[in-house]
Chain A
């Protein structure tokens, strides 16, 4: 990768390539990937009091004025308006055309000439060379013809080719900027400035200079530049860029705010809690920038094709002229050669992949999904098998009370006693039990002398009697008997991968609480939706086989490989890849790093806090599993668009080239055809904007409360409804 590898065009946010156009605009250094973007950027955001910015537009306008005049006179010439009596004025009209054409060629052709020169001194021939050579040939030949007094002048061709290419590039750049619109909020993190309060003064500073403890004022409508805590003010914020959920979150004094979220309706004063460059927003920004700067395999291939084709086309143009010059007058042969040069300009091929990819990346980014490698979308579209990790990916990764089995007592009594003990503990299982009791509206029994027994459980006394909750060893230690029905139940629960907590009081065990990491509510629907799209799912997990199989059955996965170490997961992945071609791995990004990196597409759900150490190519927000089918849709659409673009660009070029070589295509028409081809590629890519958003029916918030996992209503055994402990 070169030094310019990660510089993005100021206008369209695509990589600028090896030779960017660099200019200083509005006091800032800007780099552009092409001349079109340079114009479009200045039209859009240039402050026109500045001479430089306006100058370009004036050039264009004057160039347009001249070329339109030339075109008009030429049209009149072609329609034989000056025959007969007026034939005497013909040489004068030719002279006039020459006078008009000279500044027009200089003004409009200048940028192309510069581009050719800059590439030329580095030993590269680009498509601008084709344009420059063709136009120069037409212009010089015509100038020569004027001297000779010949009637064959082609100033119109020279000027219109330049004009059409310039307009084409401008329109193309406008389209590309539309593609970059989705990415803007993500890329803004590095250029954003913050209003820092320093004593009585408010100073505008770049975000990177903001450090922890500084006070930052955020007006309504602005983006919050740093992570921090609200000191003053009240407002609603939209955190969609970071969390993927587009809804308003109310913030008041003391609330935490996330950098990158939009402050919607009230002024906020925020105390920064860290460096401006350490926020997730800034990390995302760097990551997206890197991704855009990288080239996908398709793009590299297209670039190579473009690089090879230019010299080929030059040779072909030369041959065409030589061939036709044998049977036609030289000027006709020259025009045919010019058509070949102009029509073979491979601009559209170079544009086919990056625009569709950046549109896809932007589309996903708007819902909080980060693409870290542009090629990943194309690969994902080809993938037929998704391997899932279990804990934290398909499940909440957090214990949840799923069942209570009790002997001769009520559930409420069991939970009241258990919660009385467990609410004083920080243990994961304990918290799940306390939360479940709270969910059912049970008041914990007041418990005294509470002591945790490390590795065993917890004990205390309530209503004057000892009470304990913990594992079998704790009950053994206490010498409390376990009723046979409960013992059997506990064994079968443990066999199926549940965690079991015994609750006892009055010298006897009265109940068995079963806890489990249960599947995410959206997992089943997501996997069914993936299957509809022809993707198979498999489960690779390090957990016990029973637990894995139970979860797999619940979410609808048939194929399970359990008890795998990280290394074994990698090997399993290799085997799967051998059978299925490419395989995507979906993990939680925390424990699965190596496996995610080894997969063709690594997808992290609920990712690690440090994006820089993330190994997955695709990072979903914490609650993002439900979006997976939609992401696959986007990936497929991107791939389809790239393929149609390439097919179009190549097919179109070949057909047009054939026509041109046979002398059936006028150079002006050829230029129009070529500019049209690029614009068609842009328009085709922009269709990606119309992709539907992820289906809202699958959003977790809207699916309140899940169904009870199981109910037992046997003799002496009662069950509880699902406590629906909150996730995250």
Chain B
């Protein structure tokens, strides 16, 4: 459980990063003329769409991880029961390295991923989103949220990597679900209250998120590298539910 709480916290801290980009969308989504209730519904729908995409990505990543592990001819062992098979170790190492790279980017040390994200069709996506913002349909915010979830974002990639390393659809789904829920408060706040947080706050938040991701990345990496009885970090986190 503590594991998922860490993810939630990372999501919460990370959402200060979201405010930079997705926050702008949330603001643009704005208020509904039909009153406060409709506005809240609008933003809930938007965030539900986003969460669905995250969960889907998480479940998919987890399932892919599972497929990778099982096609190695080895059954996926419960993560903390000592014996980790080779495929799972490799997966953990790759995912851990990815997360560390993302974390470094949050500290402003690696800019490769940022450029990758921009290059990878980000602009086309953003264009399509801009159009949906002004549509008056009540389903528009939902559709908008769904697309938004696919926007290239290092935070999402980092947690998708984490989800893949769990090598299971359900834990993968849960990782992304908790992460998504973690981003809820800030994003809802952005939508409802507007820009109250100063840039300094945001910077702290981004640093904090980077710290969380770095920690998770190191633990994941450790799971791949260290002998299986030396998982101090995981013991502390309480591990994944099987």
As a 0/1 sequence over residues 176 to 198 of chain B, the CB contacts with chain A under 8 angstroms (1 = contact) are 00000000000000000000000
B147 within 8 A of A: yes
> Once bound together, how far apart are the Cα atoms of A46 and B135, in whole Å?
12
As a 0/1 sequence over residues 76 to 98 of chain A, the CB contacts with chain B under 8 angstroms (1 = contact) are 10110100000000000000000
> Once bound together, how far apart are the Cα atoms of A43 and B127, in whole Å?
7
As a 0/1 sequence over residues 130 to 152 of chain B, the CB contacts with chain A under 8 angstroms (1 = contact) are 11101111011011111100000
> Once bound together, how far apart are the Cα atoms of A712 and B131, in whole Å?
76
Q: Are A61 and B137 in contact (CB under 8 A)?
A: no
- Residues on the A chain within 8 Å of B49, using CB: 61, 65
> Once bound together, how far apart are the Cα atoms of A153 and B60, in whole Å?
19
> Once bound together, how far apart are the Cα atoms of A546 and B62, in whole Å?
80
- Residues on the B chain within 8 Å of A65, using CB: 49, 52, 142-143, 145-146
Q: Are B59 and A57 in contact (CB under 8 A)?
A: no
Which of B85-93, B167-175, B215-223 is near enough to bind chain A?
Answer: B167-175
> Once bound together, how far apart are the Cα atoms of A177 and B97, in whole Å?
37
- For A46, A58, A69, the residue with the greatest tally of chain B CB atoms inside 10 Å of its CB is A58
Q: How far is the CB of B27 from chain A (nearest CB, A)?
A: 18
- Residues on the B chain within 8 Å of A44, using CB: 124, 127
> Once bound together, how far apart are the Cα atoms of A59 and B56, in whole Å?
18
Q: Are A69 and B52 in contact (CB under 8 A)?
A: yes
List residues 104-149 of chain B with CB under 8 A from any CB of chain A. 121, 124, 127-128, 130-132, 134-137, 139-140, 142-147
- Residues on the B chain within 8 Å of A43, using CB: 124, 127-128, 131
- Residues on the A chain within 8 Å of B15, using CB: none
Residue of B nearest to A65 (CB): B146
Q: Are B63 and A61 in contact (CB under 8 A)?
A: no
- Residues on the B chain within 8 Å of A278, using CB: none
B53 within 8 A of A: yes
> Once bound together, how far apart are the Cα atoms of A78 and B173, in whole Å?
13
List residues 43-69 of chain A with CB under 8 A from any CB of chain B. 43-44, 46, 48-49, 51, 53-55, 57-62, 64-65, 68-69
Q: Are A54 and B169 in contact (CB under 8 A)?
A: no
Q: Are A62 and B143 in contact (CB under 8 A)?
A: yes
- From known contacts A68-B56, A76-B59, A76-B170, infer whether A53 and B142 are also in contact, taking CB-CB under 8 Å: no
> Once bound together, how far apart are the Cα atoms of A55 and B143, in whole Å?
10
Q: Are A48 and B131 in contact (CB under 8 A)?
A: yes
B55 within 8 A of A: yes
Among B132, B146, B173, point to the contact of A76 (Cβ < 8 A): B173
> Once bound together, how far apart are the Cα atoms of A59 and B135, in whole Å?
12
Question: Once A and B bind, how many residue pairs between them come within 8 Å at the CB atom?
Answer: 98
Residue of B nearest to A58 (CB): B143
Residue of B nearest to A70 (CB): B56
Residue of B nearest to A68 (CB): B56
> Once bound together, how far apart are the Cα atoms of A62 and B143, in whole Å?
5
Q: Are A81 and B169 in contact (CB under 8 A)?
A: yes
> Once bound together, how far apart are the Cα atoms of A69 and B145, in whole Å?
14
Q: Are B53 and A57 in contact (CB under 8 A)?
A: no
Among A48, A76, A174, point to the contact of B169 (Cβ < 8 A): A76
Q: Are B124 and A174 in contact (CB under 8 A)?
A: yes
Among A46, A49, A51, A62, point to the contact of B139 (Cβ < 8 A): A62
Q: Are A75 and B146 in contact (CB under 8 A)?
A: no
Q: How far is the CB of B62 from chain A (nearest CB, A)?
A: 8
Q: Are A54 and B142 in contact (CB under 8 A)?
A: no
A71 within 8 A of B: yes
B165 within 8 A of A: no
- Residues on the B chain within 8 Å of A60, using CB: 143
Q: Are A48 and B56 in contact (CB under 8 A)?
A: no
B66 within 8 A of A: yes
Among A46, A61, A78, point to the contact of B143 (Cβ < 8 A): A61
Q: Are B128 and A72 in contact (CB under 8 A)?
A: no
Among B56, B137, B144, B168, point to the contact of A72 (Cβ < 8 A): B56
> Once bound together, how far apart are the Cα atoms of A78 and B127, in whole Å?
36
As a 0/1 sequence over residues 27 to 55 of chain A, the CB contacts with chain B under 8 angstroms (1 = contact) are 00000000000000001101011010111
Q: How far is the CB of A672 from chain B (nearest CB, A)?
A: 12
Residue of B nearest to A48 (CB): B131
Q: Are B143 and A64 in contact (CB under 8 A)?
A: yes
> Once bound together, how far apart are the Cα atoms of A79 and B242, in whole Å?
12
Q: Are B170 and A57 in contact (CB under 8 A)?
A: no
Q: Are B170 and A79 in contact (CB under 8 A)?
A: yes
- For A44, A51, A75, A78, the residue with the greatest tally of chain B CB atoms inside 10 Å of its CB is A75
> Once bound together, how far apart are the Cα atoms of A82 and B170, in whole Å?
10
Q: Are B142 and A62 in contact (CB under 8 A)?
A: yes
Q: Are B147 and A61 in contact (CB under 8 A)?
A: yes
> Once bound together, how far apart are the Cα atoms of A76 and B144, in whole Å?
25
- Residues on the A chain within 8 Å of B142, using CB: 61-62, 65
- Residues on the A chain within 8 Å of B124, using CB: 43-44, 174
Binding site for A on B (CB under 8 A): 49, 52-53, 55-56, 59-60, 62-63, 66, 121, 124, 127-128, 130-132, 134-137, 139-140, 142-147, 168-170, 173
Known: A64-B143, A79-B63, A79-B169. 18 other contacts (CB 8 A): A43-B124, A43-B131, A44-B124, A49-B134, A54-B132, A57-B128, A57-B143, A58-B143, A61-B132, A61-B143, A61-B145, A62-B139, A64-B146, A65-B52, A68-B52, A75-B63, A76-B59, A78-B63
A-B contact pairs, 20 of them (CB 8 A): A43-B128, A43-B131, A46-B131, A48-B132, A51-B135, A54-B132, A57-B128, A57-B132, A59-B143, A61-B139, A62-B143, A64-B53, A64-B146, A65-B143, A68-B55, A69-B52, A71-B56, A71-B60, A76-B59, A76-B169
